[in-house]
Amino acid sequence: MKQTYQIYSFSFLVLGSLFSCTPEQAKDTATSSTADNAPASIASAQAYKEGNDYVLFERVRIVDRTAFSQPAEAYSLLLPKGWKQESKIIWNLPGSDCAGTFRALEATSADNQYRFQVLPDVLFTWNSNPELMQFYQNNKSSSPYCTIGQPIHAEHYLRNIFGPEELGNPQIVKVESNPLVVEEMEQSNERARRELMQYGSANIAFDQSAINATVRWPDGKEGMVVLGVSILENTIPNIYTGTTSKSYTTQVTKRMVYTYPAEEAKQALSQFSVIMGSFRTNPSWNETVNNFWANVRQQKQIEHIGKLQLMDAQTKAIGEATIRKGEARLKEMDMDLRSWEQRQSAQDRMHTSFVKTIREVENYQDETGTMELASGYNHAWSRGDGSTFIMSDNASFNPGTVFQDQAWKEMKKVE
């Protein structure tokens, strides 16, 4: 188990996604019209149909209840009003056979016609040494997120594994490479390479690929699929025989699927663009998680750890200190008026980059600052709370008038 664990924990250096063991959300709801609205305003509201004339998006906040003494917000995103969602931040702790932090989410519309999924990252390991491969086969991970498999690129993964095994084997209508995401993955992998070199791994190479795809099922549903793949190749010399072997860790990340009725593809693309561009990861939570695993990787005795109560005293103390520091940072974040939600972290920008190949992204400004939103709609409105937005293509629609709520202000497009 020593070798297996080292490979899995080592590979999590390249994890770009971070995801909690219990479904939670804290949801900001939209303000409704007041009880004493005039009949004319009621008639005005009834003249516009939500979903057709406008879509109200609410920011949903995903909470990590596992790693901290108090619940900590991990990330947030915009979803159309009325959608239901379940989410998880999954911690596979040091000593397990697939150590790391994963995130997962599934959101569905009230009529179950639309669905958005964020699926956990998956890791495949492979080695050119037959003896090591036999060892891997005899010590397979029990986690669904870590398995044995040869290196594979993004499109091949979709066609040969993801589609048949997890998506119900849909027809692959279209697949396009996404160079913007590949470029961002290269930057992230370069940072990982530098850290790995500190541990003595000098002969390392990365290969990245990313795709946007459209798929179709026999029941009339279509789906937009995005994902990225990083392949880490490590050449390992054998000082006794003078030969070398190669180990491969393939990480499939940003596995996201948006399902919708085929006849509503245009509306679905607009909604998908807004959702993808709205991801905001709490930087303090993200830093705490990254520091925790960085500290774990630095512990030479990590192979002696068993199960989580099984962390040795030194590793446990370092982990707890990292969490305490993170909790302090989280409190500072709350005092910072959530200004971080106006900015996108590097990993959040990757979500937007998946959209940029199919839909332009523009900057919109309200009284709280500037936000990057996909230009799937001609008009964007905000209540100035950073949590509720209305997107519309109807030039005559004004939520301030329709809902008799003057807090709604149209956002301005800025450079």
27 or 387: which leads in pLDDT: 387
Q: Is the pLDDT of residue 356 over 80?
A: no
The total of structural domains in the chain comes to: 1
Residue 317 has pLDDT above 80, yes or no: no
- Evaluate whether residue 186 is within a structural domain: no
- What is the pLDDT, as a whole number, of residue 36? 44
Average pLDDT over residues 173-178: 96
pLDDT tens sequence across 387-402: 899 999 899 999 999 9
Give, as one character, the DSSP assignment of residue 29.
P
Name, of 167-171, 179-183, 369-373, 396-400, the range with top average pLDDT: 167-171
375 versus 254: which is more confidently predicted?
Answer: 254
What is residue 12's predicted lDDT score, i.e. its pLDDT?
42
CB 245 within 8 A of CB 133: no
Residue 62 belongs to some domain of the structure? yes
What mean pLDDT is predicted for residues 1-15? 41
Cβ atoms < 10 Å from Cβ of 266: 8
Residue 354 vs residue 95, higher pLDDT: 95
Q: Give residue 236's pLDDT.
A: 83
Whether residue 277 has pLDDT greater than 90: no
Q: Is residue 94 part of a domain?
A: yes
Averaging pLDDT over each range in 4-18, 156-170, 331-345, which range is the top one?
Answer: 156-170
As a three-state string, the secondary structure of 108-147 is ECCCCCCEEEEECCEEEEEECCHHHHHHHHHCCCCCCCEE
What is the average per-residue pLDDT within 238-257?
89
Q: Cβ neighbours of residue 134 under 8 Å, at least 6 residues apart?
A: none
Q: Considering the domain boundaries, does residue 69 fall inside one? A: yes
Greater pLDDT, 295 or 123? 123
Q: Tell whether the model's pLDDT for residue 344 goes beyond 80.
A: no
Position 113 in a domain: yes
Residue 339 phi/psi, 5° resolution? -60, -20
Within a 13 Å sphere around the CA of 276, how many CA atoms are in the beta-carbon half?
32
Q: 284-306: per-residue pLDDT in tens? A: 898 899 888 888 877 743 443 33
* Cα–Cα distance, 332 to 326 (Å, whole number): 10
Calculate the average pLDDT of the chain. 79
Q: Is 38 or 163 the better-scoring residue by pLDDT?
A: 163
In this structure, are strands 115-119 and 244-261 parallel, antiparallel, or unpaired? antiparallel
More confident residue, 1 or 164: 164
Q: How far apart are the first and last CA of the chain?
A: 54
pLDDT score of 373 more than 80 = no
Nearest 5°: phi and psi at 237? -80, 145
pTM of the entire structure? 0.76
Determine the average pLDDT of the residues in 39-58: 75
Average pLDDT for residues 236-261, to the nearest whole number?
90
Whether 334 has a pLDDT exceeding 90, the answer reads no
Q: Would you say residue 329 lies in a domain?
A: no
User: Does residue 402 fall inside a structural domain?
Assistant: no
Comparing 8-12, 48-52, 179-183, 390-394, the range with the smallest average pLDDT is: 8-12
Would you place residue 155 in the very low, low, confident or very high pLDDT band (cuts 50, 70, 90)? very high
Q: Which structural domain, as residue segments, surrounds residue 132?
A: 2-143+266-323
Q: Is 82 part of a structural domain of the chain? A: yes
**CA 35 – CA 256 distance, rounded (Å):** 41
Q: What is the pLDDT of residue 329?
A: 53
Mean pLDDT: which of 134-138, 185-189, 220-224, 365-369 is highest? Answer: 220-224
DSSP 334-376: HHTTTGGGGS--HHHHHHHHHHHTTS-EEEEEETTEEEEEESS
Average pLDDT over residues 218-227: 96
What percentage of the chain reaches a pLDDT higher than 70?
A: 72
pLDDT-based confidence at residue 189 (cuts at 50, 70, 90): confident
In terms of residues, how long is the chain? 415
The answer to whether residue 60 scores a pLDDT higher than 90 is yes
Q: What span, in angstroms and rounded, lies between the C-alpha atoms of 222 and 172?
A: 10
> What integer is the mean pLDDT of 211-233?
96
334's CB contacts (< 8 A; 6+ apart) are none
